[in-house]
Structure 1
Amino acid sequence: MKELIRANFGLLAAGVATFVMMGAGQSLYGPALPAFARNLDLSMAAAAWLVSAHWIGCAIGVGFMYFAGTRVVPRHVIATMALGAALVTFGPGRFGAFGGALVFGAGYGAATVVFNPRILRAFGDKGTAMLSLLNASFGIGAIAIPLIFVWMGSNPAQTFGLVTVMAIAIWLGAGPAGRTGSASAETVVAEFHPHLALQLFAVVGIGLEACLIGLGPTALIDLGLSEESAAQHLSAFFTAFLGARVGLVLVAHLVAPFTLYIGAMLFSVACLSLGLIVSPGPFFVIIGLAAGLYFPSFYVSASKVMGDHPKTPATIIAAGLVGGILAPILLGGLLDEIGGRGLFLVLIIAAAGAAGAGLVVRLRLPELRGSGRLGL
């Protein structure tokens, strides 16, 4: 393992730093949404489109990677995110905010396709654990930025300015790993097996994650928390999120990834239900443990079924982006009417449906079960 890390240290370091910055950028939308609404004279429903603009940008980035991914290097996607964050910081009014979110999202989506398959392939049989570590680093930025946002006076432009500086620093420090492309489609011997039904689980998983991160703080405010407290709860949510992904590095070899996905959905149902019955704040924090498992558990599961073709990562991630785009649009538009309690109820139904369907699919696809040492 030490030899693998030494041989791929540049790639791993660039990936971890980029994911820290990605976590900071994405998690900033949630606590900043009320401030954006005030500053741009928007309703909460209209401001929620900022979250969707990010995910629409992700879809554009992933779509571009589907066709040109083998020629894109890490520095390209880092520069795109730097430009997007700079637009939010310095761009005029609504154009800067929405345009910046779109551009930042494009770099964000492309980065997931650039780094995830590279890490999974570079570390061989340790790839699942290192993929978990890469995605765990997302939580570091996501924990810090809501607290920094409050410390900076709840000013979205200034906080996105900090994200801009982070992106530029990573671009400068990426070194050779930032300029190295991936293997071309012709040199990778693998078949492409898209599985559209299986990808519906990515739609639900990323949709849940987008709503918890982007709309969760607003729901908490509706349920009685202050804006400052909601931002602090989001930071604590990402602490649990990070803990789950770090823990996954240690247990990834014990339990089949799709079993973890089903378990995360069931745990989400329990947390959201207890949030409504007992107290929303603490259980919003605890659900971060489940949210941290949504993407890595599904990504590895789908990769096993769909094969190691260069188009596989973009196809898997694109499916998740359908949920990331549509869920905030649909639920953000309804948030003024259904309130925080209604949002929690909708998410309970979605998570329960995904868990039930997952149990059925797990029985029908042998690739999704029994691959862990515990036989689960």
Structure 2
Amino acid sequence: MSATSRPEPSRAPGPLFTTAAIVASCAGFVVIGAFQALYGPAIPALRGKYDISPAVAGLSLSAHFIGALVGVLVYHLLRERLSQRTLLGASYLLMALGAVAFAFSPNWTLALAGSFITGLGFGGVDYGLNQLFAVGFGRRSTAMLNLLNGHFGVGAIAGPALIGWFGADNYPVIFVGSGVVCLLILLTLGGVAARVPGPDTETAAVAASPRVLPIIAAFIGVYVLHVAIETGVGGWEPTHLETVGFAAATAATATSAYWAAMTIGRFVVVPLSLRFSAPSILTVCCAGMAGFLLLATVPAAAPYAYFGVGLAIAPIFPTCLPWLNRAVPSISAAGAYVIAASMIGGVTFPPLLGVVIDGLDVKALPTVLFGLAVACMLLSFWLRQNAPDHSGELPSLTDAAPKTAASPGVQT
């Protein structure tokens, strides 16, 4: 074969992030976690500033989530036309612009518009970085996604703490400060790859399976159910604990501990995800949710059980996303579907659960959520059989000795 006709050896795609860009991405998730958690503590100040009712003030978070959902869809539609740097940069700019508009709007209508604009950027950053981390680190993607989403929890804890420290009336300063951080992150976007390599022919062939749509539907089911449980516990735990005899202060502390567990669980699973497969982690987490919710039916154990529920829920979102990308690699919209589904579930399920609780009794909360956890666990079993994790080199949690052989074709 002549030198001119010899095929060139295949080259592995370069890294999608520099170290500085990884650090900045984690900072970005601290910011979006804070944004999501800031609206609630700011409600007393919003009511006084705009002379509105609590229900109307709560529309700020609704506008944010609607914007986030639109942001996910727009980012997905544009990701083939524009570079990742452009889309992430636009998302951070939208968050900064929306934060300033929300902080200084002279009337409530403009404040809601600012919340919506912040949500647009929020959705773009959330979807864009989750997708990039899901494909950008090879077998370490699950660990890196848990690390990234753990920083979201840090922001969700820090946001209300800042409101408590500075006072609700000073919420504009905190929103503007968060916007400034978004602008600083723009300086690091040169360390993000402009384009994401597509799946190779062999991997993409997996998506030709007639089970692709059921697989995506099952992942959506897992996302909707676990977010339903997450918001159900977060919204109703204080009421349930007070109903079964705990003091209001104890119930509030236990609820704070539950949200802290959501952050702790993601950091804890980072090293575990380097040793155990995503299907194994999902199955254990779903079983843990069910077990702890069953334990929560015992009044004396309920506060501790809810903490366990938080630990079990925490890894599901960041663990399933890279698995989904490996299971249906040529369906680029799959990640958008499940992230959008999780957002929709977070908005729509709390009022639905409220209707169920009104028809039963708040003491039935852990039992109702236990039923959802069992459904989630059944989906995890089905996915384990029908959507095997093609990272290959990762062992099962039940394996006595983890395998160490690297899977061919996986870039690390």
How far, CA to CA, are the matches of 2:231 and 2:294 in structure 1? Answer: 19
Gapped runs of 5+ residues in structure 1? none
User: After superposition, where does 1:192-341 map in structure 2 within 5 Å?
Assistant: 195-213=216-234, 215-216=235-236, 219=239, 223=243, 226=248, 232-279=253-300, 280-307=302-329, 310-331=332-353, 340-341=362-363
Q: How does 1:27-66 map to 2 (within 5 A)?
A: 27-29=37-39, 40-43=52-55, 51-66=61-76
1:174 to 183, 186, 196: 186
Identity within the alignment, %: 25
Larger Rg: 2
1:137 lines up with 2:151 in the alignment: yes
The alignment's TM-score, normalised by the length of structure 1, stands at 0.80
AA of the residue aligned to 2:316: Y
Q: Encode CA deviations 1:81-119: one digit per residue, 9 max, x unaligned.
A: 233444443346654665444333322221122112323
Residue 122 of structure 1 corresponds to: 136
When residues 342 and 370 of structure 1 are mapped into structure 2, their CA distance, relative to the original with a 3 A threshold, is farther
Residues 262-293 of structure 1 deviation map (CA, whole Å, 9 limit, x = unaligned)? 32222223333333422544433332212211
d(CA) in 2 for partners of 1:332, 1:94? 28
Alignment TM-score, normalising by the size of structure 2: 0.74
Matched residues in 2 for 1:32 and 1:217: separation? 22
Cα 1:351–1:31 shift into 2, 3 Å: farther
- 1:62 deviates by 1.0
Flag the structure with more relative contact order, 1 or 2, with Cα contacts below 8 A and sequence separation at least 6.
1
Could you say what secondary structure the match of 2:348 adopts?
helix
Higher share of residues assigned helix = 1
- Distance in 2 separating the partners of 1:30 and 1:266: 32
Query: Quick one: which of 15, 18, 22 aligns to 1:8?
Result: 18
Letter in structure 2 aligned against 1:318: A
Q: How many residues align?
A: 365
* Contact 1:25–1:160 under 8 Å retained in 2: no
Q: What is the Cα deviation at residue 180 of structure 1?
A: 5.2
Instruction: Report the CA distance shift for 1:124/1:148 in structure 2 as closer, same or farther (over 3 A).
Output: same
1:307-360 deviation digits (Å, cap 9, x = unpaired): 166544323322323322321342356667767545444322212211123223
Q: Give the 5 Å matches for 1:146-165.
A: 146-153=160-167, 155=168, 158-159=170-171, 161-165=173-177
Instruction: Look up the match of 1:346.
Output: 368
Q: Is the 8 A contact 2:135 2:322 kept in 1?
A: no
Deviation at 1:134, TM superposition (A): 1.1
Q: Give 1:252 shift.
A: 0.3
Distance of 1:317 and 1:307 partners within structure 2: 16
Q: 1:113 to 1:239 in 2, by over 3 A?
A: same
Q: Distance in 2 between matches of 1:178 and 1:233?
A: 42
Contact 2:139 2:274 in 1 (8 A): no
Q: Tell me the equivalent position of 2:410.
A: none
Task: Give the match's secondary structure for 2:382.
Answer: helix
Contact 1:266 1:355 in 2 (8 A): yes
Secondary structure of residue in 1 paired with 2:217: coil
Report if aligned partners of 1:8, 1:122 keep a CA contact under 8 Å in 2.
Answer: no
Supply the distance in 1 between the matched residues of 2:365 and 2:108 (Cα, whole angstroms).
Answer: 26
Residue of structure 1 equivalent to 2:4: none
Give the match's secondary structure for 2:296.
Answer: helix
Counterpart CA distance in 1 for 2:279 and 2:57 is 34
Of stretches 13-22 and 303-312 in structure 1, the one that deviates more from structure 2 is 303-312
Provide the rounded CA distance (Å) in 1 between the counterparts of 2:185 and 2:306.
Answer: 36
Change (3 A) 1:5 1:301: closer
Query: Structure 2 stretches of 5 or more lacking a match?
Result: 1-13, 399-412
> What is the match of residue 116 of structure 2?
102
Give the secondary structure class of the aligned counterpart of 1:199: helix
Note the alpha carbon deviations across 1:204-229, whole angstroms, 9 max, x for none. 1233334444x246646864654x76
